[in-house]
Chain A
Amino acid sequence: MTYIVKPKLRHPAIPVNKLGFTHRDYEGTVSTLCAGCGHDSISAAIIQACFELAIEPHRVAKLSGIGCSSKTPAYFLGQSHGFNSVHGRMPSVLTGANLANKDLLYLGVSGDGDSASIGLGQFVHCVRRGVNMVYITENNGVYGLTKGQFSATADKGSKSKGGASNMDTALDLVSMALMVGASFVGRSFSGDKEQMVPLIMAAMRHPGPAFIDIISPCVAFNNHAGSTKAYDFVRAHNDAVNRLDIMEPRDPITVEYAPGTTEEVALHDGSSLRLAKLDANYDANDRIMAMAYLQAKAAKGELVTGLIYLDKHATDMHANLDTVDSPLNLMSEKELCPGAKALDGFNASHR
Chain B
Amino acid sequence: MKPTDIKNPDYFHKVVDCQWACPAHTPVPEYIRMIAAGRYSDAYMVNWHSNVFPGVLGRTCDRPCEPACRRGRVEEVNAAPAPVAICRLKRVAADNKDDVKARMPRPATQKNGKRVALIGAGPASLTVARDLLPLGYNVVLYDGDALAGGMMRTQIPKFRLPETVLNEEVDYILDLEPERRLGQKINSLKGLLAEDYDAIFVGCGAPRGRELEIPGRKEAGANIHIGIDWLASVSFGHTTKIGKRVIVLGGGNTAMDCCRTSRRLGGDEVTVVVRSGFEEMKASPWEKEDAMHEGIPIHNFLVPKEFLHENGKLSGVRFEKVKAERDAKGRRNLVPSGEPDTILQCDDVLVAVGQENAFPWIERDIGLEFDKWDMPVVDPATMQSTNPKVFFGGDAAFGPKNIIWAVAHGHDAAISIDLLCQGKPTSLRPPPMVNLSSQKMGIHEWSYDNDISNDNRFKVPHAPIELTLKNVKLEVELGFDLKQAFSEAQRCLNCDIQTVFDTPKCIECDACVDICPMDCITFTANDAEEELRLHLSAPALHPTQDLYVSSVLKTGRIMAKDEDLCLHCGLCAERCPTGAWDMQKFLLEAPKTEYACHR
Which residues of chain A have a CB within 8 Å of any CB of chain B? 1-14, 24, 30-31, 34-38, 40-41, 43-44, 190-191, 193, 217, 219-220, 223, 231-232, 235
Contact = CB atoms under 8 A, between A and B. Distances in A.
Contacts of A35: 511, 574-577
B557 to A, nearest CB: 11
B443 A36 contact: no
B387 interface: no
A13 B533 CA distance: 13
Given A4-B569, A11-B519, A235-B554, A40 B76 contact: no
B511 A12 contact: no
A36 B509 contact: yes
Contacts of A43: 514
B514 A219 contact: no
User: Main SS of chain B's interface residues?
Assistant: loop
Given A9-B518, A34-B577, A40-B515, A191 B539 contact: no
Interface stretch (B208-216, B331-339, B414-422, B444-452): B444-452
Given A4-B450, A4-B569, A13-B538, A36 B508 contact: no
A205 to B, nearest CB: 24
A278 to B, nearest CB: 17
Contact of A6 (B77, B555, B571, B576): B571
A235 B510 CA distance: 14
B542 to A, nearest CB: 11
A9 B451 CA distance: 11
Nearest to A23: B519
A41 B510 contact: yes
A24 B77 CA distance: 12
B522 to A, nearest CB: 11
Interface in B427-455: 443-444, 450-452, 454
15 contacts: A4-B571, A5-B451, A8-B452, A11-B538, A12-B77, A13-B539, A14-B519, A35-B574, A35-B576, A36-B576, A37-B577, A41-B511, A219-B509, A219-B577, A223-B507
Contacts of A217: 509
A45 to B, nearest CB: 9
Contacts of B87: none
Given A37-B511, A223-B507, A235-B555, A9 B454 contact: yes
A24 B517 contact: yes
Nearest to A43: B514
B509 A231 contact: yes
B565 A11 contact: yes
Interface string B535-572: 00011010000000000001100000000010101010
B298 interface: no
Contacts of A44: 510, 513-514
Interface residues of B, number: 38
Interface of B: 73-78, 443-444, 450-452, 454, 507-511, 513-515, 517-520, 538-539, 541, 554-555, 565, 567, 569, 571, 574-578
Contact of A2 (B444, B507, B574): B574
A6 B515 contact: yes
Given A6-B515, A13-B539, A223-B507, A36 B567 contact: no
B577 A36 contact: yes
Contacts of B513: 44
Contacts of A30: 515
Contacts of B519: 10-11, 14
A7 B569 contact: yes
Contact of B76 (A5, A12, A231, A235): A12
Contacts of B452: 7-9
B506 to A, nearest CB: 10
Contacts of B514: 40-41, 43-44
A212 B73 CA distance: 40
A191 B508 contact: yes
Nearest to B518: A11
A223 B511 CA distance: 15
Nearest to A219: B577
Given A36-B575, A40-B510, 6 more contacts: A8-B454, A10-B77, A13-B539, A36-B511, A223-B507, A235-B554
A198 to B, nearest CB: 16
Contacts of A10: 77, 517-519
A166 to B, nearest CB: 23
Contacts of A191: 508-510
A249 B283 CA distance: 54
B567 A9 contact: yes
Contact of A13 (B451, B507, B541): B541
A14 B77 CA distance: 12
Contacts of B578: 36
Contacts of A41: 509-511, 514
